[in-house]
Amino acid sequence: MVSICQSAEGDIVDQEVLDLPPELFSHLRAPSGQWASCIRLLSPFEGETLQRIDLTQNEAAFSVSTIVFHNQPDVTYLAVGTGVDVTVIPRQCRKGFIHLYKFSEDGTSLEFVHKTEVNDIPQVMIPFHNRLLVGVGSALRIYDMGKRKLLRKSEAKGFPRAIVSLHTQGNRIVVGDLQESVHFVTYLPMENRLIIFADDTTTRYTTATAIIDYDTVVGGDKFGNLFVNRLPSDVSDQVEDDPTGNRLVYERGYLHGSSHKLKNLTNYHVGDTVTAIEKATLVAGGRDIVLYTTLGGAVGILVPFVSRDDVEFFQTMELHMRNEAPPLCGRDHLAYRSSYIPVKNVIDGDLCEYFNALPLAKKQAIADELDRTPSEITKKLEDIRTLVAF
């Protein structure tokens, strides 16, 4: 016997489809504008669910962070950013909340403390100076602990679209905007102010960012581009030598943005949407690398060169590989890696690794141009890989 039911929108749904076990077939896709989220506390060793808190009233969770407030140094809290009645296109929501939970002493359960209403979706939040730094829509805010809700202590509103990533180092904050690349912000503790002092000149739909050093940031966008931007050293020194921030506040903006601009160091098209970027060390005693992942499931690394000889060697090798091993589709390799922005200061390691698959005659021809033997080139490629990755 097969029963048929009709939904509120008039769609005919087979009852047997509704009764399928969600553990095997997953849940049915909800209509547009309908959300379901939960907060799940897991045991990392057994993989068991210790506690599950379901969010109601069409509320969706978008960000989460642990925080230890300065007035309660012995208690760890969990902050969860949610939005109610969210629509992706056009991007809007009826209201947002920041839920605050307290971990138990053994860390196996959560206790609800309070929730704070905000005017937009809190898409990203991180701890900052024993306070909570939150990107609420296009506003950057610092919240502190209160008895009935979180207390807003500072705010900056000069961001173009929506904040999607945050990184901090000292009093400096690197903010990734949804459509306008990255911005550098400084926090003035004496004045309790957030000031935007530098931004990018190129429009980028940022999806992930990471800090390389105090003045350098690496990021990726939804069109598959990786980039590295650096704050000029003279601007960085000027910001550090101005504790009151008066010079930054009254400086004139440039190109419809901040008074200072970031310098672009590298550009590279990977061909897929970048979802995460981290600075990491994969080999004990090895150099720091930039690790990135893409929407299609690829994991890649960016390896820094430490000598000028290696740079010249691999630049020459990449040039010969473009001529000797053209793509099967007939496209130009350089044009592909420069699909949106001309490739800059990045060597295609995948193309160089293809050297081992070439016929012996082509290997010997490339080796003669480099004044090396084919075995020496293969050894060089292996050394670059094994010293930093695997």
**Could you give the domains of the chain?**
26-302 (2.130.10.10), 308-386 (1.10.150.910)
What's the pLDDT band for 7 if we cut at 50, 70, 90?
A: very low
How many Cα atoms within 13 Å fall on the side-chain side of residue 325?
A: 21
Place of tokens 């749904």: 13
Q: How far are the Cα atoms of 32, 119, 314 from residue 35, in angstroms, in the given order?
A: 8, 18, 50
Residue 141 has pLDDT above 70, yes or no: yes
Q: Give the integer Cα–Cα distance in Å for 203 and 197.
A: 17
Beta-ladder partners of 300: 292
Residue 9 has pLDDT above 50, yes or no: no
Average confidence (pLDDT) over 174-180: 93
pLDDT at 246: 67
Average confidence (pLDDT) over 172-186: 93
- Percent residues over pLDDT 70 in the chain: 93
* Calculated CA dihedral for residues 354, 356, 360, 366, nearest 10 degrees: 60
pLDDT at 355: 92
DSSP 3-state of 124:
strand
* pLDDT per residue as tens digits for the range 161-176: 899 999 999 999 999 9
DSSP 3-state of 147:
coil
pLDDT at 3: 35
Single-letter amino acid, residue 66: T
What's the pLDDT band for 13 if we cut at 50, 70, 90?
A: low
Q: How far are the Cα atoms of 42, 43, 53 from residue 46, in angstroms, in the given order?
A: 9, 6, 19
Average confidence (pLDDT) over 138-167: 93
What's the pLDDT band for 128 if we cut at 50, 70, 90?
A: very high
Tokens representing residue 55 in the block: 């969010």
Residue 389 has pLDDT above 80, yes or no: no
pLDDT at 367: 92
Q: Give the integer Cα–Cα distance in Å for 130 and 247.
A: 27
* pLDDT per residue as tens digits for the range 310-337: 999 999 999 999 988 888 787 888 999 9
- Beta-strand pair 193-199/260-261: parallel
Average pLDDT of the chain?
88
Tokens representing residue 100 in the block: 């605050």
* Percent of the chain as helix, strand, coil, to the nearest 5: 20, 40, 40
- Please answer whether residues 120 and 113 qualify as being in contact, where contact means their C-beta atoms are separated by less than 8 angstroms: no
Task: Say if residue 45 is exposed, middle or buried (CB neighbours under 10 Å; 0-12, 13-18, 19+).
Answer: exposed
Of 49 and 253, the one with more pLDDT: 49
- Please answer whether residues 290 and 218 qualify as being in contact, where contact means their C-beta atoms are separated by less than 8 angstroms: yes
* pLDDT per residue as tens digits for the range 215-253: 999 999 999 999 999 999 988 888 888 776 667 766 766
Q: Give the integer Cα–Cα distance in Å for 90 and 87.
A: 6
What's the pLDDT band for 11 if we cut at 50, 70, 90?
A: low
Q: Give the integer Cα–Cα distance in Å for 103 and 25.
A: 33
What's the pLDDT band for 257 if we cut at 50, 70, 90?
A: confident
Q: How far are the Cα atoms of 29, 125, 156, 187, 203 from residue 198, in angstroms, in the given order?
A: 42, 21, 14, 13, 14
Q: Give the integer Cα–Cα distance in Å for 66 and 41.
A: 13
Q: Which of 2-11, 90-99, 136-145, 379-388 has the lowest mean pLDDT?
A: 2-11
Of 301 and 258, the one with more pLDDT: 301
Q: How far are the Cα atoms of 101, 105, 131, 155, 194 from residue 142, in angstroms, in the given order?
A: 18, 27, 7, 6, 9
What's the pLDDT band for 352 if we cut at 50, 70, 90?
A: very high
Residue 15 has pLDDT above 70, yes or no: no
List all residues 6 or more positions away from 122 whose beta carbon is below 8 Å from its beta carbon. 62, 63, 81, 82, 83, 96, 97, 98, 134, 135, 136
Query: Sign of the CA dihedral 247, 252, 255, 256?
Result: positive
How many Cα atoms within 13 Å fall on the side-chain side of residue 107?
A: 6
What's the pLDDT band for 12 if we cut at 50, 70, 90?
A: low
Residue 23 has pLDDT above 80, yes or no: no
